[in-house]
Amino acid sequence: MSTFQAPKGTYDLTPPRSATFLAVREAISAPLRDSGYGYIETPGFENVELFARGVGESTDIVTKEMYTLTTKGGDQLALRPEGTASVLRAALEANLHKAGNLPVKLWYSGSYYRYERPQAGRYRHFSQVGAEAIGTEDPALDAELIILADQAYRSLGLRRFRILLNSLGDKECRPVYREALQTFLRDLDLDEETRRRIEINPLRVLDDKRADVQKQLTDAPKLRDYLCDACKAYHEEVRALLTAAGVAFEDDEKLVRGLDYYTRTTFEFVHDGLGSQSAVGGGGRYDGLSEMIGGPELPSVGWALGVDRTALALEAESVELDLPATTSVYAVPLGEEARRVLFGVVTELRRAGIAADFAFGGRGLKGAMKSANRSGARYTLVAGERDLAEGVVQLKDMESGEQSAVPLAEAAAELAKRLG
């Protein structure tokens, strides 16, 4: 193993590709920020108990994928595998739900960790932008979140994604269905692990990717037939609001998602250019989660979108994001005095809000101009001894190639004018 290799299942983000990731985070969070969601940040690790209870003891995330550790002081911690449990924990700790302003709408962005088998689009360290709306049961809230994610993907220029939608029922109707499903599943020819899953989390069996299992599931009881009237009405309202907003979706009865805490609305965004790791984001309603982690009853809904897979989706659709050049002006000093003077101009430009960079290291004109080109700067400022003696700098427009002498004292103002 090379000394300079990132750990298995991880990768570094370096320029220029890293700019895409920043733009993706920005594009996903912009619609949230415009819709009353406040930014929240929580630690990268939590007590392991929070995820065991909040994500579910029977989920792959907790049983197989969680990075757990014991601190020197004996605390049992886990690197966060997802955001919802942490955000809810933090909201409860800060009593945000008691401020008399429900729903509490929050968004977050960060790193998540899962010990998975690394493959394209599946990493051990990945990043998500997520949103949670805590404390309100209202189909318009479920619809809002789906619409905002749709808006985010569209603003990035993505088109080949689909929205899968389902309802998982609530604490009235889900248990009845669960039992009917268990009775059906117990008669099937399944391996030991799957048989255990029938007893702990039978809905997850529906999610099994294996063809021989899927074949046996054809006649499984359908959750749709068990939904209570309240859940049915709620789901119809979510569907109607999405339709009215012009957001297309597909009803997907098999969509159960990996987490124990979902109730009613569940959804997933899949992209058709990503092969088997097709889910770019997902979420749903989790009315029981707060109580599961020891809080009051707080019906809530949220989603998390994967930044890594969204970046891959952009590549799959050959979307070129319109990323402005980071540097507008590049200064090339020739000689000691010019170095001092132009460094002063660069500082002045930066303070005026103009992105400027400088040829450091006292390189010659040729090498420095190469760097100026590479920086993407629209203008370069060049100055040598003779220019300074005349009180001017050479201002070159890198697009037209035109060059003119500008009085040193006016250089910054002239650039500000030209750059608008």
Q: Which residues bind ligand ATP (CB under 6 A)?
A: 82, 114, 116, 121-123, 126, 128, 257-258, 277, 279-282, 304, 306, 308-309
CA angle centred on 345, ends 339 and 349, rounded to 5°: 140
Report the nearest approach of ligand ATP to the CB of residue 219 (Å): 25
Strands of the sheet containing 38-39, edge to edge, are 38-39, 104-113, 125-134, 300-306, 279-285, 263-271, 161-167, 250-251
CA angle centred on 371, ends 366 and 372, rounded to 5°: 95
User: Between 150 and 308, whose beta carbon lies closer to ligand ATP?
Assistant: 308
CB–CB of 37/131 below 8 Å? Answer: yes
Which candidate, 114, 44, 25, places its Cα nearest to that of 86?
44
Report the nearest approach of ligand ATP to the CB of residue 43 (Å): 19
Report the nearest approach of ligand ATP to the CB of residue 121 (Å): 6
User: Between 261 and 330, whose beta carbon lies closer to ligand ATP?
Assistant: 261
CB–CB of 267/163 below 8 Å? Answer: yes
User: Between 257 and 396, whose beta carbon lies closer to ligand ATP?
Assistant: 257
Strands of the sheet containing 403-407, edge to edge, are 356-358, 329-333, 379-383, 392-397, 403-407
User: Between 135 and 281, whose beta carbon lies closer to ligand ATP?
Assistant: 281
Q: Is it true that the peptide bond before 221 is cis, omega within 30 degrees of 0? A: no
Report the nearest approach of ligand ATP to the CB of residue 410 (Å): 51
For 15, other C-beta atoms within 10 Å of its C-beta total 7
CB–CB of 398/377 below 8 Å? Answer: yes
Report the nearest approach of ligand ATP to the CB of residue 270 (Å): 8
Report the nearest approach of ligand ATP to the CB of residue 46 (Å): 16
Report the nearest approach of ligand ATP to the CB of residue 26 (Å): 17
User: Between 24 and 368, whose beta carbon lies closer to ligand ATP?
Assistant: 24
User: Between 56 and 288, whose beta carbon lies closer to ligand ATP?
Assistant: 56
Q: Tell me phi and psi for residue 189, to 5 degrees.
A: -95, 95
CB–CB of 130/108 below 8 Å? Answer: yes
User: Between 68 and 277, whose beta carbon lies closer to ligand ATP?
Assistant: 277
Q: Is it true that the peptide bond before 15 is cis, omega within 30 degrees of 0? A: no
Report the nearest approach of ligand ATP to the CB of residue 65 (Å): 8
Give, for 251, the enclosing helix (H) or strand (E). strand 250-251
Q: What does the alpha-carbon distance between residue 249 and residue 257 come to, in Å, rounded to a whole number?
A: 17
User: Between 28 and 304, whose beta carbon lies closer to ligand ATP?
Assistant: 304
Q: What does the alpha-carbon distance between residue 220 and residue 261 come to, in Å, rounded to a whole number?
A: 22
The two three-digit tokens of residue 149, written as one number: 């994610």
User: Between 105 and 309, whose beta carbon lies closer to ligand ATP?
Assistant: 309
Q: Which residue is nearest to ligand ATP (CB)?
A: 306
User: Between 31 and 281, whose beta carbon lies closer to ligand ATP?
Assistant: 281
Report the nearest approach of ligand ATP to the CB of residue 305 (Å): 6
Q: 122-152 burial, b for 16+ CB within 10 Å, e for fewer?
A: bbbbbbbbbbbbbbebbbebbbbbbbbbbbb
Report the nearest approach of ligand ATP to the CB of residue 148 (Å): 15
